[in-house]
Amino acid sequence: MNNSPTNISEIKEQSIKELLKQYVRYWYLFLFGILIALTGAYIYLRYATKTYATSSTIIIKDEKKGGGAAELAAFSDLSLFSNAFSDNIANELVILRSKSLIGKTVESLNLNVQYFYEGSIKTSELYVYKPFKVNYLSVSDKTQLTIPQLVIIMHSDAEFTIEDINKTFSKKYSFGDKIDLPFGDLVVVPNTENIDKFNNYLEKPIHVVYHSVENVAAHFQGLLNLVHDGKNGEVVSLKLTSSLPVKAEDFLNELVYQYNQDAINDRSQIAQKTSNFIDSRLEIITRELDSVENNKERFKSTNRLTDIEAEANLILENASDYNKRQVDTSTQLELIDSMISYMDSTSSIDLLPSNIGIDNGEIQSSVGTYNQLVLEKNRLLKNSTSKNPVIINLDSQIEQLKSSISGSLKNQQRFYQVAIKDLNNQENIFNAKLSQVPEKEKLFRGIVRQQNIKEQLYLFLLQQREETSISLAVTSSKAKVVDAAYSGKGQESPKPSLIYLLSFILGLLVPFLLIYIYYLFNTKVSNRSDVERVHRTTPLIGEIPKLSRGEEELIKHNDRSILAESFRILRTNLQYLLAGKTTVDGGLPKKIFVTSTIKGEGKTFVAFNLALSLAQTGKKVVLVGADIRNPQLHRYLPGQQKDKKGLTEYIIDHTIAAADLASQSEYNENLSIIMSGVIPPNPAELLMQPRTNIFFEEIKDLYDFIIVDTAPSMLVTDTILINKIADVTLYVIRANFTDKKLMEFPKDAIEEGRLANIALVLNSVTMSNFGYGNKYGYTYSEEKKTFFQRLFNR
């Protein structure tokens, strides 16, 4: 019990070694696979299209937080720049990836027209330098999807030939000519700034491909990646992967520029709308102020008043606070009335004036949000219809927000109306106390109060108009560029190190899988390990190498081949196996039977060569053909008479002596051969006759060794019947021929006692599986081997 873990560990270690051994045996396949894979990887990397990562970093300014540009620092105290927008970084990312903005970028850079140069192996796109430019003057909307690919061949800096890819038309033109084609008109303009580069493309076909702006915009929209980790405030990274780094850099830079232009246009619309509103109000206030001043002048002239203000200030010194509050409240009420009147006359696509002085932060914030929604709706209407669900949703939000703003204004209006009423009541009380003030002075005070209200409102509107004019004159970009678009030095894909690594793994994996599949479907015995795995207790005393085509099958005198040496080893192991054993009658063991499971495993070959090997030691050996159903000894006896009497005649005819059957072999003087005789109709019953035992008793004293070639054990019962006569039975298994399942038959026969004194011999073993001789670099032959035989140890 204590030794079990050790034995299990040894068995596992041995199994692992055997598993590794069966793969290491084919090391040349792994080497070949790696070389092929790495060569393929090199060719792929040589001609594969390389892509590079291009990135740019910007800061999207949050103007609500006072994030204006440095050039507007002088105006940072103006409320227009601090409350114009309520930015949301997520919304800005959507705008940056919008198809409309990317479409403007594509149109600006003319990216929907591509130029390709047809090389000897692959076609490359021309971008940095193009020998000419194709201007598509007009393209029919109905044919945008079917515009053919054009092929232009330049003959000189003046002439070129244009044709379509299918060569349905071909004609020579001069540069600058207007070319009328079925899908539209175009003009080809040469680029001769670098005449050397221009000449390199002469007489070489250049392909021109036209795409619709929408398709190209959708393509870039899918490639563009915007990264905002939420930790760096308004910092956004724009990333793009392309095979043309310069093209990707131009696209990202232009995209940021178009984004800034779009934001500037939006702010200009709001500022312009506010300016128009202020101008209209100033016109009304100016007329009202002129009317009040004229009334004041007529009143003073009619009543001959000179310093009524000084007298009123002296009398109404204590009433100044009420007057100031009345003026402020009336101003706010006037602004609210104007705003309500303006809202009632606008539609859902009109912007509202922002920051006109209404003293209510909630209303100002709502107006800013309302304008942002209107701008978003107007932007979407450029590429969509009013039935779009997104626009319908925006309309609903705009109407709700407009209703909310209107309600807030009306609430504020009622509040100021109540406040003015209260102030008027307080004024009446105060006026009662001033009953001694002349009626004319009170009338004059009312005129002055109206004048002050109109003047304050007039000055306020002038200030707002100035701020709006500044915002129109000074426009700042929405996105500040931190890092302009740049491309990394290393390629993004394919990665050479990764490709070579994967190729190396693939070069190992494919041979491994081939070998694995080979062993998985290979049901034949291959080597010594396959035999010993089934027959753990039965000794394997010999391995016979596989013979090449045309190689001699029988060993000769003083033979130094690996075949002869393998039989010498078999002979030696057999002698050690027989050493110390005695037969039933007390004699030395000498009867050696040779059998196999099925036909074709080489038992006759082994029996004949073993007999020759024993005879070469000077021993007297007789080879008996006991396979009376299918005798094969005659294959190795071309000079012998095949019809000579043999074992079957001896058993049938009691007058025949065993010694008379033997004939000397021409291969060795110490070897005699007894043929099997004629094929009987009842071989099994014949071998069961007592004459069979008498035969072996007669010849055992005549020879030192008796080698018996018997029938296959599984196919017929002959060998099982006479096996008890043998001192030892050599059971032949043929490599790459005997099925592994067939090895269960001798195992069961041994365990059940049907076969006794068994020793195994593995025949036809390949050199890669052979356990002796050349495998360990020690050869007994002088034969010359080819380079590949020496390389693969064949």
For range 743-760, the mean pLDDT: 91
Q: Which helix (H) or strand (E) holds 758?
A: strand 758-765
User: For helices 213-223 and 99-109, what crossing angle results, to 10°?
Assistant: 110
Nearest-angstrom CA–CA distance, 664 and 671: 6
Contact 681, 598 (CB under 8 A): no
SS3 266: helix
Give the pLDDT score at 545.
Answer: 92
pLDDT of residue 308: 53
Q: Please indicate whether residue 202 or residue 146 has the higher confidence score (pLDDT).
A: 202
> Is residue 773 over pLDDT 50?
no
Condensed to tens digits (0 to 9), the pLDDT of residues 655-683 reads 898 888 988 888 899 999 999 888 888 88
If you average pLDDT over each of 13-22, 164-173, 762-771, which comes out highest?
A: 164-173
CA angle 675, 677, 682 (to 5 degrees): 135
Question: Which residue's entry shows tokens 């500044």?
Answer: 470
Residue 488 CA to residue 360 CA, distance in Å, equals: 52
Q: Which residue has the higher pLDDT, 625 or 12?
A: 625
pLDDT on residue 710: 93
Beta strands in 454-571 (DSSP E): 479-487, 540-545
pLDDT in the model for residue 789: 46
Q: What is the 3-state secondary structure (H, E, C) of 142-200?
A: HHHHHCCCEEEEECCCCEEEEEECCCCCEEEEECCCEEEECCEEEEEEECCCCHHHHHH
Determine the Cα–Cα distance for residues 86 and 526; give it in Å rounded to an integer: 81
pLDDT band at 325 (very low <50, low <70, confident <90, very high): confident
pTM: 0.55
Task: Return the HEC string of 15-84.
Answer: HHHHHHHHHHCCHHHHHHHHHHHHHHHHHHHHHCCCEEEEEEEEEECCHHHCCCCHHHHHHCCCHHHHCC
Q: Is the pLDDT of residue 749 over 60?
A: yes
Condensed to tens digits (0 to 9), the pLDDT of residues 424-468 reads: 887 777 666 555 456 666 677 777 777 778 777 778 877 777 776
pLDDT at 73: 38
pLDDT recorded at residue 384: 73
* pLDDT given at position 620: 94
Q: How much is the mean pLDDT over the chain? A: 80
With a cut of 50, say whether residue 85 has pLDDT above it: no
Whether omega before 494 lies within 30 degrees of 0, making that bond cis, reads yes
The stretch 693-704 carries a mean pLDDT of 90
Is the per-residue pLDDT at 245 higher than 70?
yes
Per the CB < 8 A criterion, the answer to whether 707 and 622 are in contact is yes
pLDDT for position 347: 76
pLDDT of residue 68: 41
Q: What is the pLDDT of residue 39?
A: 94
Q: Mean pLDDT throughout 247-253?
A: 91
Q: What is the pLDDT of residues 525-538, one digit of tens each?
A: 888 888 988 998 89
The predicted pLDDT at position 557 comes to 85
Task: Provide the token pair at 634.
Answer: 């005659």
Q: Which range, 73-77, 115-119, 283-287, is most confident?
A: 115-119
Fold of the 540-791 domain: Rossmann fold (3.40.50)
Task: Please give the average per-residue pLDDT across 484-512, as a whole number.
Answer: 87
Residue 80 has pLDDT above 50, yes or no: no
Lowest mean pLDDT among 191-205, 630-644, 727-741: 630-644
For the residues 161-190, what does the mean pLDDT come to? Answer: 87
Q: What is the mean predicted confidence (pLDDT) over 120-138? A: 86
pLDDT at residue 318, as a whole number: 55
Is pLDDT above 70 for 107?
yes
Identify the pLDDT of residue 293: 74
- What integer pLDDT is reported at residue 407 of this predicted model? 87
**pLDDT for the residue numbered 664:** 87
Percent of the chain residues past pLDDT 90, beyond the cut: 24
Residue 721 CB neighbour total at 10 angstroms: 19
Mean pLDDT of 223-238: 79
Cα separation, 454 vs 292, whole angstroms = 8
Candidates 268, 122, 132; CA nearest to 188 is: 132
What pLDDT score was predicted for residue 399? 84
Task: Quickly tell me which residue has 């190396």 as its tokens.
Answer: 504
**pLDDT, tens only, 550-581:** 888 899 888 888 999 999 999 999 988 888 66
Question: Looking at the predicted structure, is the pLDDT value of residue 2 above 50?
Answer: no
**C-alpha distances in Å from residue 620, one per residue of 486, 656, 664, 701:** 95, 22, 11, 10
pLDDT band at 584 (very low <50, low <70, confident <90, very high): low
What's residue 759's pLDDT?
A: 93
pLDDT band at 69 (very low <50, low <70, confident <90, very high): very low
- How far apart are alpha carbons 554 and 563 in whole angstroms? 9
Check whether 780 has a pLDDT greater than 90: no
Find the range with the poorest average confidence among 27-41, 127-141, 318-332, 705-719.
Answer: 318-332
- The alpha carbons of the chain give a radius of gyration, in whole angstroms, of 55
pLDDT in the model for residue 370:
83
DSSP annotation of 414 reads H
Helix ranges restricted to H, 710-754: 718-722, 744-752
pLDDT of residue 86: 35
β-pair partners for 732: 596, 761
Q: What digits encode the pLDDT tens for the residues 23-67?
A: 887 888 999 999 999 999 999 888 888 888 898 888 887 655 544
pLDDT of 244 = 87
Q: What per-residue confidence (pLDDT) applies to 777?
A: 47
